[in-house]
Amino acid sequence: MKKEKKICIRITPRRLVSAILLATSALNLIIVGAVFEVTYSTATPAMSPLPTTLVPTTTFFVPTSTAWETFTPLFADTPTQTPSTTPTYTFTPTNTITQTPSVTPTYTSTLVKCIPQYSWPIYIVQGGDTLYFLALTIGSTVNELVLANCLPNDHIYIGQWLYVPRVPVRTPTPNPTLTETSLACAEFEDLKSGTAYKVGETFLSSGIHITIEPFVWGSGTPTSSGLAYVTDGKTAGGFGMEIQVNNITLTFNFPAPLSGLSLLFGEYGGNLNIDINGDFRNFENLADINQRDIGGAKISVLQGFGNDAGYLQLSGAIKSLAIGGQELWIDNVCLSR
């Protein structure tokens, strides 16, 4: 009978320690390989490898060993930890307070256009009169009288005509003459628009006879080829109909001498003629004869600098008047005695 051979392995302490060291070395190699592979992988740099924790099922006493103590895993490169991105917070206020600068008011002066009040009574300025005292007497104001008469300032002179809203109940002077008697005003409303008159013809408006006469150019040469037209363009500054004077002269025929006369005009080119009581003048603009004495009459002109409308007033003894131009419009010719 064949005898079975038994294989017996003798476990000695020395062999047990060697087995443990061998197993431990193998385990360390596995751990180092895992660490090396994770560090140099192509994964996102911001990720850090998770440490591997060994949970041994059996705790062994590991004796001191030189090989064990001096074992240090070597790395080809020292891994660099990539810092995670720190978010940046921007503070945005929900309510923004904006300071509004204070506004400094700007004051601009506004020029008030004068409007002659031709429907008002006429007052003749007497010695000692002032515009302030006259305004006080008739219950008006200086500003109202300045605008109603288109005065450049509050200065007035003896014999000047002023339109006043009311006739004074008493005079500004001890022995005054209150007003002159207002006669007719040729406003040409009784004429038909488009009517033309040539030299030698006479027409009647508001009881005033007007004759068309030749005109004298700036060179001194007279002409009879002009015409007078009835128009409604308000070019002279009035309302309704007016007379356009085109290289002719208007001669006004008065039944008796006058003490005053006024009219509206619009001058827009060429020279002008005026004849007062036989005193003839040839000039460029009506402003040229302002404050002049012609034929014994005192002349006052507002505007009349060329290419504008204005107001002409005569005071003194007036027996005859003729006025002409090349591009001249006449309206509201008012007579007084």
Residue 48 falls inside a structural domain? no
Q: Last residue of some domain: 179, 200, 223?
A: 179
Find the range with the poorest average confidence among 90-94, 169-173, 193-197: 169-173
| One domain, residues 268 and 138 | no
Question: Same domain for 164 and 265?
Answer: no
**247 pLDDT more than 50:** yes
Q: Please check whether residues 218 and 160 belong to one and the same domain.
A: no
DSSP 277-327: TTEEEEES-GGGGTT-EETTEEEEEES-SSSEEEEEEEEEEES-EEEEESS
**Whole-prediction pTM:** 0.51
Task: Give me the number of domains the chain comprises.
Answer: 2
Q: Which domain holds residue 219?
A: 183-336
Residue 101 lies in a domain: no
What are the distances in angstroms from CA 1 to CA 4, 71, 136, 328?
Answer: 9, 55, 170, 169
- Decide which of 179, 201, 228 is a domain's last residue: 179
Which residue, among 279, 291, 269, has the nearest Cα to 318 in the 3D structure?
279
Contact 326, 271 (CB under 8 A): yes
Q: State the DSSP string of 44-91.
A: -TT--PPPP----SS-------HHHHT-----SS---PPPPPPPPP--
Q: Are residues 201 and 216 in the same domain?
A: yes
| DSSP SS3 for 166 | coil
Per-residue pLDDT averaged across 163-187, rounded? 62
**Does residue 312 belong to any structural domain of this protein?**
yes
The CATH number given to whatever domain includes residue 308 is 2.60.120
Question: How would residue 169 be classed by pLDDT, with cut points 50, 70 and 90?
Answer: low
Residues 193 and 321 in one domain: yes
Tell me the pLDDT band of 238, cut-offs 50, 70 and 90. confident
In a domain, 14, yes or no: no
Q: How confident is the model at residue 57 (pLDDT cuts 50, 70, 90)?
A: very low
**Percent of all residues in the chain with a pLDDT value above 90, rounded to a whole number:** 36
The values of phi and psi at residue 22, to 5°, are -65, -45
Tell me, yes or no, whether 134 and 188 share the same domain.
no
| 271 and 144, same domain (yes or no) | no
Q: What is the pLDDT of residue 176?
A: 40
- Name the DSSP class of 165: S
In whole angstroms, give the CA distance from residue 31 to residue 38: 11
Helix H or strand E encompassing 185: strand 182-186
In the DSSP assignment, the letter for residue 274 is E
Task: Return the CATH number at 143.
Answer: 3.10.350.10
Strand, coil or helix: 215: strand
The pLDDT tens digits for 107-123 are: 444 456 788 887 888 88
**Which range (89-93, 158-162, 195-199) has the least confidence?**
89-93
**Residues 163 and 278 reside in one and the same domain:** no
User: Do residues 198 and 170 both lie within one domain?
Assistant: no
Residue at which a domain ends, from 141, 161, 179 = 179
- Measure the CA–CA gap between 245 and 236, rounded to whole angstroms: 11
